[in-house]
Amino acid sequence: MIEFRDVSKYYPTPGGRKVVLDHLNLTLPSGAKIGVLGRNGAGKSTLLGMVAGTAHPNRGEIRRHASISWPLGFAGSFHADLTGAQNVRFVARIYGMDTDTLVDYVEDFAELGEFMDMPVRAYSSGMKARLAFGMSMGIAFDWYLVDEITAVGDSAFRRKSLAVFQDRLREAGLLMVSHSIGTIRSYCDSGLVLEGGTARYFEDVDEAIAHHERNMRRR
């Protein structure tokens, strides 16, 4: 599970303090598939960043009683001068995995061929995304974070990727940010709605969507 203990997050702006979360106390149950909803600027990506540990609350703490993925497909942290294989080995060491096992998995999954042994700076954005997604699927996390899921590659690769992702979710929780209500309904059974510094959890995703849509109509 993931616990928010009196968590507040805000940013200074020219117009005053922008509050993302205000004294949030909440426990997200293990294995839940949660769609994160809110208007633009409500703090959805910031919340995922705090869960991932790449952003920090101004007060309070987030307790993670589980292993947490980086946002799926995120390719911003690769070392451009290292090869794809070297980047994978680095990540394997961080997560305590056998390096050869993870490299073999990613090499087979990402279908990058000889590019696995070339510097990442030579990769296209799609190749970086395939490498990152392959690493995400090669490590069995307790929670997966998704900020606008992106399909890369041809139709066969997309089908393979989604099938593997769905298989991982059988034993894991999910925090998903998406502007597509259809995508939220497809992957999530519960919801977390951000609005005006508050975060309200709904066990039923349709109730969360209805609450979010009411918020949007009051805009």
The pLDDT of residue 161 is: 87
Q: Where are the alpha helices (DSSP H) in the chain?
A: 44-52, 84-94, 99-110, 125-138, 155-169, 181-187, 205-217
pLDDT digits (tens, 9 = 90+) for 147-203: 887 666 678 888 888 899 999 999 999 999 998 999 999 999 999 999 999 999 999
Paired with 159 in beta bridges are: none
Lookup: tokens for 90? 């680095």
The pLDDT of residue 129 is: 84
Distance CA 63, CA 177 (A): 20
- Domain extents for the chain? 2-67+175-217, 71-140
The pLDDT of residue 76 is: 60
pLDDT digits (tens, 9 = 90+) for 108-131: 999 999 999 999 999 998 888 889
pLDDT digits (tens, 9 = 90+) for 20-70: 999 999 999 999 999 999 999 899 999 999 999 989 999 999 999 999 998
pTM for the structure as a whole: 0.87
Q: How many CB atoms are closer than 10 A to CB 181?
A: 14
Residue type, position 46, single letter: T
Least Cα distance to 10 among 64, 55, 53 occurs for: 55
**End-to-end CA gap in the chain:** 33
**DSSP symbols for 140-203:** --SEEEEES----SSHHHHHHHHHHHHHHHTSSEEEEE-S-HHHHHHH-SEEEEEETTEEEEES
Residue type, position 137, single letter: M
pLDDT digits (tens, 9 = 90+) for 61-96: 999 999 999 887 555 678 999 999 999 999 999 999
- Domain 2-67+175-217, CATH number (from 3.40.50.300, 3.40.190.10, 2.40.70.10, 3.40.50.2300): 3.40.50.300
The pLDDT of residue 74 is: 59
User: Which residue in this structure is represented by tokens 């952003």?
Assistant: 55
Lookup: tokens for 142? 């307790």
